[in-house]
Amino acid sequence: MPRLFVAIDIPDQIKEALTQFTRELPGARWVPANQIHLTLRFIGETGPQALAAIKGALAGIHFPPFQLVLQGAGHFPPGKHPRVLWVGVEANPRLMELYRDLELTLVEVGIPPEERPFSPHLTLARLKTSAPGAVGNFEARHGELTFAPFEVCEIILYSSVLTSEGAIHSREASVGCRGMGNNPNLDTFLTH
């Protein structure tokens, strides 16, 4: 059964720039460029009825376009044994409002509320054998990393299937920004 999550896609030029770091940290399992995204909400495994309900509920989300800035580098969990290397997101009230609207929408269709606080980031790599000192050096080199702002005008419902080759993500549906004029690609709910 596929696992679902809602995410913001990242411009290709930023994804490509992020892949340049893959030579800098031995032992890291880097996320492929085509899978780099900002997860708004991980939903988990769902059946066909829940998927249909989620798609229908997402169609009711309305948000204006807004700008995001990616900046900084760090790891989860805090402390001596890093497991995930990430790039952060500059604080943004519009992003937090979108997250809250999404969370309320999912709870209304029966998805249990998220227990962890929302910590916007892009996962760059998963760490198993990388020495904590090497991770610290990476973060020191890229702690001031900042990308040019990009516009968020769509959220995407993805399904993910784990295989021996890694996760395969597929677009299930997307919601475009409202109030963008007569562009039907941005003003309507699209299913794929």
Residues recognised as catalytic = 37, 121
Q: Within the chain, where are the H helices? A: 12-19, 48-58, 93-108, 132-142, 184-187
Q: Which H helix or E strand runs over 36?
A: none
Neighbouring-strand partners of residue 29? 126
* Cα three-residue angle 103-50-106, rounded to 5 degrees: 10
Question: Within a 10 A sphere around the Cβ of 78, how many other Cβ atoms?
Answer: 8
Specify the residue for token string 């904590």. 132
d(C-alpha 152, C-alpha 192), whole Å: 20
Assess contact for 89 and 7: CB atoms under 8 A.
no
* Three-class DSSP category at 142: helix
The DSSP output letter for 146 is B
Specify the residue for token string 């952060």. 88
